[in-house]
């Protein structure tokens, strides 16, 4: 369906996508393939000069950097929070983004919710994400959260239980990332949305 859309916008430098991601905070990028997600994030990181905070919950992107497959940019700071040090690492992140503009990437939503399994923790994580979004708005930062998701007929996009609240928020931008042939396709989950071809 996406590859037949006549309204695709070629966006190899991700300029249009960056503008799209400024419209709402936070933004969730849904994807069903981890390698497509890593490819998109690498293109996004390489397209911005703004300082970047990368919260790597599934360690896929860090693995690419450490193996030398992806070079680490000088403006990129990577955090690897665990359940034990989450509050300490989160404090460092909010201290940084409250002072200046950043691109904040949380990769991935699933990793966060796998770390904190009960409902009370899910509420805590949602509060952390909404605090990041609020601080980000004050300094014109972008907050992007990736999520591995699948679509179920008659149910829409399926995430971990805690993720549903964030997706339903009117303040949240929700996007779908797919690969069709050799191109990444990025679009809002709304039916009448623009389609960006990377």
What per-residue confidence (pLDDT) applies to 68? Answer: 93
pLDDT above 60 for 134: yes
In the chain, which ranges are continuous DSSP H helix?
Answer: 15-21, 34-47, 60-66, 86-97, 109-115, 119-138, 163-168
* Alpha-carbon dihedral angle through residues 120, 141, 105, 33, given to the nearest 10 degrees: 100
CATH number at residue 137: 3.40.50.300
Percent of the chain with pLDDT over 70: 83
Question: CA 74 → CA 26, 41, 53, 64, 79, distances in Å?
Answer: 24, 16, 11, 16, 14
Residue 22: domain span = 2-197
What's the rounded mean pLDDT across residues 11-29?
Answer: 92
What integer best gives the mean pLDDT of the chain? 85
What's the rounded mean pLDDT across residues 119-124?
Answer: 70
What's the rounded mean pLDDT across residues 131-148?
Answer: 90
Other Cβ atoms less than 10 A from the Cβ of 112: the count is 26
C-alpha–C-alpha distance, residues 3 and 186, integer Å: 11
Task: Identify the top-confidence range among 54-68, 109-123, 138-152.
Answer: 54-68
Number of domains in the chain: 1
pTM for this prediction: 0.87
Six-digit token string for 145: 């959260």
């Amino acid at each position: 369906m996406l590859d037949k859309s006549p309204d695709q916008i070629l966006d190899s430098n991700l300029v249009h996508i960056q503008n799209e991601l400024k419209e709402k905070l936070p933004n969730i990028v849904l994807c069903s393939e981890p390698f497509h997600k890593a490819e998109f994030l690498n293109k996004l990181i390489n397209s911005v000069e703004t300082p970047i905070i990368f919260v790597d919950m599934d360690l896929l992107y860090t693995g690419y950097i450490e193996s030398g497959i992806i070079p680490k940019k000088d403006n990129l700071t990577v955090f690897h929070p665990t359940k034990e040090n989450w509050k300490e690492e989160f404090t460092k992140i909010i201290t940084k983004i409250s002072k200046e503009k950043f691109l904040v990437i949380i990769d991935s939503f699933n990793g966060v919710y796998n770390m904190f399994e009960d409902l009370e923790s899910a509420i805590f994580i949602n509060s952390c994400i909404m605090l990041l979004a609020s601080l980000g708005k004050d300094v014109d930062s972008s907050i992007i959260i990736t999520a591995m998701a699948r679509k179920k007929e008659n149910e829409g996009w399926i995430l971990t239980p805690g993720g549903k609240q964030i997706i339903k928020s009117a303040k949240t931008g929700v996007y779908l990332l797919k690969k069709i042939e050799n191109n990444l396709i990025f679009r809002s989950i709304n039916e009448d949305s623009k389609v960006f071809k990377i």
